[in-house]
Amino acid sequence: MIGRSYYIFLAVGVILVTAILATYFFHSAPVQESTSDSADISWQYISVDSPLQPIPSVQNLDPDWVNLGRALFHSPLLSKDNTISCASCHLVHFGGDDSFPVSTGIENKVGSRNSPSVLNAVFNFRQFWDGRSLDLKEQIAGPVHNPVEMGSSWQEIVAKLENSTDFVGMFASVTPDGINEETISNAIVAYETSLTTPNAPIDAYIQGDQNALNPQQKRGLQKFTDFGCVACHQGVNIGGNLFQKIGRIGEIPEVLADDLGRFTITGNEYDKYVFKVPSLRNVALTGPYFHNGAVAELSEAVKIMAKMQLGREISQRDTDDIVALLQSFTGDTSDL
């Protein structure tokens, strides 16, 4: 009897000691301080009673990471032949796109899609016209490797940046982790996170400033709402938070029927002609329009949308009112 309780006592003892040690070890394990990202950013939202929402302001974005990201975004070292930077196709002071129907990369190679704006892209629920990237960080590997954009590789880029005393110094001042895919991407994401354009007239208006829109823009907002544009283009980014099929009601005009959208990623029949609903923020600056830039004029894009998405032929007056409204979506870029 005595022998058996001795063993039970011993077993319980061992379990207890193990548990105490495990707890101690767990608690005393150093908390992993991540130095390779741009700290814990958060957003301060202003919620208003409207399908459109004002741009939130970002908190705790580290300016040193943003500056490094800005330098990388503008550096041609990210491309194979040192001729193209992210900024070649995304001009942040001119709407965040490149104003061409489709973009041209290294060796004058031409892509098949229109460059979307990087301004406010941080608010998109997915990236790319077909939403194939989950977020900004994942997106970066796309252009870096794309043979018709930058045609490079992380290995080549890291080697070139390590040869630049400027970049070596900038990286060293923000992270001990050195120059690698992770730190490069984190810096670019920090910069892109800073590329928001708040205080557009529409933001002031939905927050109660009745004079922020002129009478024509107010009529435009009424129509944008009543016709149903707002069903797809809404939220903080006035778009950027849904996938939708083009030609939902009306036929797809031939100029837009070249690209099967999400179908090219998923192979699912239902995804034919499905695209991410683009943000309409700064849309007056981002022509030409649609996934392939086939439409030059904003008024033409509005008419096509009304017909193709809502089955509605709209008058010139309605079109002009909506275009006037879209102009009120242009935000403040002075801090970029």
246 binds ligand HEC (CB under 6 A): yes
Q: Which is nearer to ligand HEC, 18 or 218 (CB)?
A: 218
139 binds ligand HEC (CB under 6 A): yes
Site for ligand HEC in 39-58 (CB under 6 A): none
In terms of Cβ atoms closer than 10 Å to its own Cβ (0-12, 13-18, 19+), residue 117 is buried
* 138 is annotated as an active-site residue: no
228 binds ligand HEC (CB under 6 A): yes
Evaluate the CA torsion angle 203, 204, 207, 213 in order and state its sign.
negative
Enter the tokens of residue 22. Answer: 């495990």
Distances (CA, A) of 245 to 83, 232, 263: 36, 11, 11
Q: How far apart are CA 194 and CA 8, in angstroms?
A: 62
Contact pick of 54, 95, 101, 116 for ligand HEC (by CB under 6 A) = 116
Enter the tokens of residue 26. Answer: 């767990």
CB contact burial 95-105 (16+ within 10 A = b; e otherwise) = bbbbeebbbbb
Least Å distance, CB 147 to ligand HEC, is 11
Contact pick of 119, 200, 238, 256 for ligand HEC (by CB under 6 A) = 256
86 binds ligand HEC (CB under 6 A): yes
Enter the tokens of residue 44. Answer: 């301060």
161 binds ligand HEC (CB under 6 A): no
Catalytic residue among 149, 182, 192, 251: 149
Q: Which is nearer to ligand HEC, 178 or 253 (CB)?
A: 253
154 binds ligand HEC (CB under 6 A): no
Residues 6+ apart with CB under 8 A from 231: none
In terms of Cβ atoms closer than 10 Å to its own Cβ (0-12, 13-18, 19+), residue 44 is exposed
Q: How far apart are CA 331 and CA 336, in angstroms?
A: 11
Length of the chain: 336
In which residue are the tokens 């933001």 written?
Answer: 203
**Using an 8 Å Cβ cutoff, are 200 and 329 in contact?**
yes
**Using an 8 Å Cβ cutoff, are 259 and 113 in contact?**
yes
Least Å distance, CB 78 to ligand HEC, is 6
Contact pick of 232, 238, 285, 324 for ligand HEC (by CB under 6 A) = 232
Choices 22-30, 49-57, 203-211, 276-284 (CB under 6 A): range interacting with ligand HEC: 276-284
Q: Which is nearer to ligand HEC, 6 or 274 (CB)?
A: 274
Q: How far apart are CA 51 and CA 53, in angstroms?
A: 6
Choices 43-51, 196-204, 206-214, 277-285 (CB under 6 A): range interacting with ligand HEC: 277-285
Longest dimension (CA), the chain: 99
278 binds ligand HEC (CB under 6 A): yes
Contact pick of 68, 291, 324, 333 for ligand HEC (by CB under 6 A) = 291
**Using an 8 Å Cβ cutoff, are 302 and 317 in contact?**
no
Contact pick of 92, 118, 119, 206 for ligand HEC (by CB under 6 A) = 118
144 binds ligand HEC (CB under 6 A): yes
Q: Which is nearer to ligand HEC, 167 or 289 (CB)?
A: 289
Q: How far apart are CA 100 and CA 84, in angstroms?
A: 15
Note the residues at the interface with ligand HEC (CB under 6 A): 78, 84, 86, 88-90, 103, 105, 111, 113, 115-116, 118, 121, 124, 127-129, 136, 139-140, 143-144, 149-150, 188, 227-229, 231-233, 244, 246, 248, 256, 275, 277-278, 280, 283, 286, 289-291, 301-302, 305-306, 309-310, 322
